[in-house]
């Protein structure tokens, strides 16, 4: 069984593929000066790009773990999430409050998907 690592650096790979399963490293927003809505949208845009690069898409997401800097942002984050997830393709999901690597980061996501 082959493990393929894409964009590997010392600390992590952006994508790891094994046995038809795709693992994405944690994704954060493109601009941490924005609010939760914009941070969530640009974070999900990055997920889209990585999934396409790995041979998948959002309809093939198996699970997602979302980390929020503060649970007060839960509803606003979910508004963006709900519009992004294709109807009938909601993955298994967990959402927790967590300390972020940088205080300005409001949301991060970890995704596991199947290849198309």
Q: What's the structural domain count of the chain?
A: 1
Instruction: Look up residue 41 and give its two tokens.
Output: 């949208």
- H-run or E-run covering 93: strand 92-97
- For the whole model, what pTM was predicted? 0.95
Q: Write down the pLDDT at residue 7.
A: 95
Mean pLDDT of all residues belonging to the chain: 97
Tens of pLDDT, residues 69-105: 999 999 999 999 999 999 999 999 999 999 999 999 9
Instruction: Look up residue 67 and give its two tokens.
Output: 């980390």
Tens of pLDDT, residues 19-77: 999 999 999 999 999 999 999 999 999 999 999 999 999 999 999 999 999 999 999 99
CB-based burial, 19-32: b 16+ in 10 Å, e otherwise: eeebbbeebbbeee
Instruction: Look up residue 80 and give its two tokens.
Output: 């963006």
CATH number at residue 13: 3.30.1330.40
Domain that holds residue 72: 3-114
């Amino acid at each position: 069984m082959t493990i393929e690592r894409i964009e590997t650096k010392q600390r992590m790979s952006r994508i790891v593929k094994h046995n038809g399963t795709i693992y994405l490293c944690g994704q954060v927003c493109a601009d941490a000066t924005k609010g939760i809505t914009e941070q969530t949208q640009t974070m999900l845009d990055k997920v889209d790009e990585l999934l396409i690069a790995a041979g998948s898409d959002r309809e093939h997401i198996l699970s997602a773990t979302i980390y929020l800097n503060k649970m007060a942002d839960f509803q606003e984050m979910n508004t963006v999430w709900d519009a992004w997830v294709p109807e009938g393709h909601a993955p298994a999901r967990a959402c927790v409050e967590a300390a972020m690597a940088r205080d300005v980061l409001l949301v991060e996501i970890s995704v596991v998907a199947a290849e198309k």
